Structure 1
Amino acid sequence: MIGALLVIYGHSSPLVGNGELIPPEWPVQLDDGLLMGFFAMSGFQVTESWLRDPHAGRFAVKRTLRLWPPMLTVSLAAALIVGPLVTARPTSEYFADRDTWGYVLNNAGMLTLQHDLPGVFLDNPWPAAVNGSLWTLPMELIAYAGLFTLLILGVAKARWRWLSLVALLALVAVDRRLDHVAGTEDAGSLLSVPVESLIAFLVAFALGVVLNLYPVPLSPTAAVFGIAAFAAMPNTEAGSFLMTFVVSYAVIVAAHYWPARIQVSGTWVNGSYGVYVWGFLVQQLLAMAGVRNEWLMLACAASIAYVLGALSWAFVEEPTMRLRHYVTPKPQNRREPF
């Protein structure tokens, strides 16, 4: 939830047209760092899900039920509710436009995202983009597919665990190549996402997998020193590379050692995914309403997105996740011998 709210913070200044809240010369770039942390935690937790229930079919169903329903809900709401209310085009023309229905179909499939709707947010400081936060979800799906392949090959078993290291090193090699070669800022896209970003986030995801499969010490001291060393570096190619490992490791360590005294009920934080997928759309609506101060944008958007995230959890995510029980075998009652 902290990460999801900080993403709204990172988007606040660009969406009101005031530039960036964090100077670009700083080595710590909030948006990239948070997304690295999200992908690392995802790799760690999804691997744990397999270790607890190593069944290919159930694993695929669980991932689908977690990722897809909120994405479909926010896409339908944007196209069929928000769009006709705010579009600059006549309502009949809006619904007759194939791009309106293309938005729903492309985003529902999660692999060929469409970011604009006819006549929607055209005059905003960040024009046309309806929900920029959705751009990471195809990458998450690709990460799931890659891990699923490795798990089918037996990567969770001790004798094949080395495959996770090979995958991590291969991704690192490709990431370094793309970052080092001049002109790769436009290296193309795969399934509607930039290749450079895809590989970078897959490195973080793979690191989370490795940290779960191998007994790597999760040390708060090491995490703090890593962040301190990283913060002292200039914003260079080496610093960008170090960020992936430092932030990914630090986020997993922070989650592992989260102080009991500041733990809260899951009810307060379960809506984090909903906050993430609704936040950008809420901010665009606020920008259209005339909000031009980044702090006012942050306060309003975070509050509204939090409520929408809670509603998403209560009425979309939790009910659909309960469907997992239909594919999960019931524990057998074993009678103890006399």
Structure 2
Amino acid sequence: MIGALLVIYGHSSPLVGSGELFPPEWPVQPDEGVLMGFFALSGFQITESWMRDPHALRFAVKRVLRLWPPMLTVSVGMALVVGPMITTLPLGEYFRAHETWGYIVNNAGLLTLRHDLPGVFENNPWPDAVNGSLWTLPMELLAYGGLFALLLLGTAKKDFRWLTVVALIGLIAWDRHLEQTPGAESAGSLLSVPVESLVAFLVAFALGVLLNLYRIPLSPLAAGAGLVVLVVMGNNITASAFMAFAVSYAVIVAGHFWPSRLTVPGVWVNGSYGVYVWGFPVQQLLAMAGIGDQWLMLLCAAPTCYVLGTLSWKYVEDPTMRLRHLLDTAPEQEVEREPDPDPADVRTERSLPLPEPAVRRVPERPERPLPAPPRPPVGGAQRSAGPPPGRAFPPDRAIPRRQPPEESPLSRRLSGEIDEPPQGRHARRPMPPEAGRRGDPNRLDRR
């Protein structure tokens, strides 16, 4: 959420036409650093998602449900709700224009972004840009795709993690080559994605992946030292190369060591993605309304975007992300649950002092000696079979039982001391003599 609000802060000055918000000689531009932090956090957390559930289909569905719904919501809302209200064209001409529907279709494709709507924001200081914040989403999608391919190759396993290191080294070499090539965005673009910016952000994304896979220690001291070194280095090519490492590591460390006393309920901060995608259109509307001061722009835009982001989380993102549970696998052996017992049954069963609540009176039969377990000879003499003196078992019981205390009539009935059968809905039917102890269908513990 802090990063999303910093992006709104970074857009305030350009969108009111007052120039750069940060001095160009600064070695670290906060808005660029925030975007790198976004990609580093994304790489770290998405890798964790795979480690917890390494299933290709569920992984892909989770990414789709996270990335598309908020972006489609803001695109459709701007094209079909806000656009008709502020366009300089007649409504019929606006809805007949191919650009109106192309805005929705192209943005739904993500890699084919379209940034303008007919007659919308044409006279703003930053004209013909409905939502400039969307430009990083295709890069995020490509980062997801690259990580997905690496994970399918087994990079999450210990023996193949080196593939991620190779990918990072390749991205760093490519980024340094593009940085030293003269000309702005000299590498061109992949559809609507500028390649030079893509590679720079992929470096930060890959750093987040490695920090998770290798469990690299997270140290606030090291993070702070890295930022200090970055500032001291000044604005040069070396500092530009070091920035991705320092900022990515610092952002992940800050998230990991965030003070618990400053933690708030998730609903207050989970709307950061919504704040990010709604920020630019809200600021453009404020600029169209005549706000020309960057600080007034920030003061008005930040709370408005926060509310929209929170609503986006509650009514768009959270409901759609819950759909991923439809793909969760059920347990291999699901035990069929029996109906919950009557509370009176539970109380009766738990109040019985007998280990076996069903005790029947057995008719008298000739006594037979109980077989004693074989015991090793002691001193060359066999011990007599049967129970020890003074502990003879009664003929109608095979094992010693603890007699219930004579305080509960129900216990006395169950032990056979009272011939009167218990009354009520939980009364038991007489058990036939031939029924085994474990075959009694009326036992409470079997019900």
Structure 1 and Structure 2 fold alike (TM over 0.5): yes
Question: Structure 1, residues 83-127: CA drift from partner, whole Å, max 9, x if none?
Answer: 111111111111111010000000011110000000110110111
Secondary structure at the residue paired with 1:185? coil
Residue identity matched to 1:311:
L
Partners in 2 of 1:181 and 1:74 — Cα distance?
36
Secondary structure at the residue paired with 1:124? coil
Q: 2:31 — aligned with what?
A: 31
2:116 is aligned with 1:116:
yes
Q: 2:142 — aligned with what?
A: 142
Partners in 1 of 2:75 and 2:252 — Cα distance?
30
Q: Is the 8 A contact 1:138 1:191 kept in 2?
A: no
Report the CA distance between 1:330 and its aligned residue.
Answer: 3.7
Question: Structure 1, residues 6-51: CA drift from partner, whole Å, max 9, x if none?
Answer: 0000000110111111111101101110000000000000000000
1:4-83 map, 5 Å: 4-83=4-83
Question: Structure 1, residues 253-299: CA drift from partner, whole Å, max 9, x if none?
Answer: 00111111111110110100000000000000000000111111101
Secondary structure at the residue paired with 2:233? coil
Q: 2:380 — aligned with what?
A: none
2:182 is aligned with 1:182:
yes
Q: 2:320 — aligned with what?
A: 320
Residue identity matched to 1:327:
L
Residue identity matched to 1:271:
G
Question: Structure 1, residues 147-171: CA drift from partner, whole Å, max 9, x if none?
Answer: 0000000000000000110010000
Q: Is the 8 A contact 2:178 2:186 kept in 1?
A: no
Secondary structure at the residue paired with 1:50? helix
Secondary structure at the residue paired with 2:185? helix
Residue identity matched to 2:324:
R
Residue identity matched to 1:257:
F
Residue identity matched to 2:176:
R
Q: 2:339 — aligned with what?
A: none
Partners in 1 of 2:331 and 2:197 — Cα distance?
42
Partners in 2 of 1:331 and 1:165 — Cα distance?
36
Secondary structure at the residue paired with 1:291? coil
Residue identity matched to 2:67:
L
Residue identity matched to 2:325:
H
Q: 1:306 — aligned with what?
A: 306
Partners in 2 of 1:301 and 1:63 — Cα distance?
28
**Scaled by the length of structure 2, what TM-score is found?**
0.74
Report the CA distance between 1:215 and its aligned residue.
Answer: 2.6
Residue identity matched to 1:59:
F
1:1-338 map, 5 Å: 1-183=1-183, 185-331=185-331
CA distance 1:330–1:218, change in 2 (3 Å): same
Residue identity matched to 2:232:
A
Partners in 2 of 1:185 and 1:38 — Cα distance?
21
Report the CA distance between 1:184 and its aligned residue.
Answer: 5.3
Residue identity matched to 1:294:
Q
Residue identity matched to 1:162:
W
More helix per residue: 1
Residue identity matched to 1:90:
P
Report the CA distance between 1:187 and its aligned residue.
Answer: 1.9
Q: Is the 8 A contact 1:44 1:212 kept in 2?
A: yes
Which one has the largest radius of gyration? 2
Partners in 2 of 1:93 and 1:49 — Cα distance?
46
Residue identity matched to 2:135:
W
Q: Is the 8 A contact 1:83 1:117 kept in 2?
A: yes
**How many pairs align?**
335
Residue identity matched to 2:74:
V
- Sequence identity percentage: 69
Secondary structure at the residue paired with 1:186? coil
Question: Structure 1, residues 121-150: CA drift from partner, whole Å, max 9, x if none?
Answer: 011011110000000000000000000000
Residue identity matched to 1:191:
L
Report the CA distance between 1:241 and its aligned residue.
Answer: 1.2
Report the CA distance between 1:181 and its aligned residue.
Answer: 1.9
Residue identity matched to 2:216:
V
Q: Is the 8 A contact 2:185 2:195 kept in 1?
A: no
Structure 2, unaligned stretches of length 5 or more?
Answer: 336-447
Question: Structure 1, residues 55-88: CA drift from partner, whole Å, max 9, x if none?
Answer: 0000000000000000100000010011111111
Residue identity matched to 2:35:
L
Secondary structure at the residue paired with 1:130? coil
Partners in 1 of 2:178 and 2:260 — Cα distance?
42
Secondary structure at the residue paired with 1:245? helix
Residue identity matched to 1:313:
W
Residue identity matched to 1:16:
V
Question: Which structure is higher in RCO with an 8 Å CA cutoff and minimum separation 6?
Answer: 1
Report the CA distance between 1:327 and its aligned residue.
Answer: 0.4
Q: Is the 8 A contact 1:112 1:191 kept in 2?
A: yes
Runs of 4+ in 1 over 3 A off after TM superposition: 330-335
Residue identity matched to 1:123:
N
Q: Is the 8 A contact 1:178 1:184 kept in 2?
A: no
More off after superposition, 326-335 vs 310-319? 326-335
Report the CA distance between 1:333 and its aligned residue.
Answer: 7.2
